[in-house]
Amino acid sequence: MRNVDENTITQIVLARHAEGANPRLNQIMTSLVQHLHAFAREVRLTEEEWFKGIEFLTAAGHITDDKRQEFILLSDTLGLSMLVTAMNNRKPEGCTESTVLGPFFVADAPGYQNGDDVANGAKGEPCLVTGRVKGLDGEPVANAIIDVWQADSDGFYDVQYEGNADALGRGRLRSRADGSFNFRSVTAESYPIPYDGPVGKMLEALGRHPWRPAHLHFMIEAPGYERLITHVFRSGDRYLDSDAVFGVRSSLIADWQQHDAGIAPDGTKIDVPYSTLDFTFVLNPAHESAV
């Protein structure tokens, strides 16, 4: 034990884990140590580089708070979030695909009725969203809980505004008996993830941009079905093929139809240009095995 060197350190560390009471934790930590040590050996990691990594993680911790999660941004931009999402959300063909949660979900969003305006003053062009929630066999899913959230036209979520306590572009509603739902918000626009912190500096150093294609976030839950966390992406967006967090799926791309001012599909008058979006979500029954 006293004669630890670069050739013996890995097995010595693993031996310390061998008596742990949690088999799954032992498995994860064993693999983590093996891969970390193999990485350090492969790249011949220097002490200076190791310390720079510690500084990076420290900075990520310092900038993280209840409104900003830099470690989720790091996981997202390294593709780890999407990898974990894909592995844990395999679904039968025909189900709506899952994608990353992102760092700006807020639990217990305010409740709305169908037809309400969840923008609640968020900046942007008006948008009317309609949709329906179905099961894999086409059955309507009634009373599904639908969480929706999005950035405004300036590219910011409500929680990014200093001192703002209002939920803007964020809300929760339920599907009707026939599975349908509708609400008003603002037209989705592309935006950069926060890049004023260590993750942004990392992207810049790697020659990568921080932009995400325009999208709406959805989380849908209903008894008897698997929870769905997904986005709907706006077709034609320039960043669909280079999403900073690798979340785009072709099946999640939809058209936002543009309209001149006038009478909207819901019979109301809109005095400025607006858009409409229609999308069907298909949930996987909870008893179905992942495929």
Beta strands in the chain (DSSP E): 126-135, 145-149, 170-174, 180-186, 191-192, 211-212, 215-221, 228-234, 253-254, 257-259, 262-263, 269-270, 274-283
12-24: per-residue pLDDT in tens?
999 988 888 999 9
State mean pLDDT over 75-99: 96
Is the domain spanning 71-283 CATH 2.60.130.10? The answer is yes
* Percent of the chain residues topping a pLDDT of 90: 88
C-alpha to C-alpha distance for 96 and 6, rounded to whole angstroms? 48
Q: What are phi and psi of 136, to 5 degrees?
A: -60, -30
Instruction: For residue 59, give Cα distances in angstroms to 49, 52, 64, 77, 206.
Output: 15, 10, 9, 16, 18
Q: What global pTM score does this model have?
A: 0.91
219-247: per-residue pLDDT in tens?
999 999 999 999 999 999 999 999 999 99
C-alpha to C-alpha distance for 130 and 177, rounded to whole angstroms? 15
State mean pLDDT over 43-50: 98
115-160: per-residue pLDDT in tens?
999 999 999 999 999 999 999 999 999 999 999 999 999 999 999 9
58-80: per-residue pLDDT in tens?
999 999 988 789 999 999 999 99
- Residue 291 is predicted with a pLDDT of 41
Tokens of 8: 């013996």
Contacting residues for 15 by C-beta, under 8 A, at least 6 apart: none
- How would residue 288 be classed by pLDDT, with cut points 50, 70 and 90? very low
* Percent of the chain residues topping a pLDDT of 70: 98
Element (H, E) at 26: helix 23-43
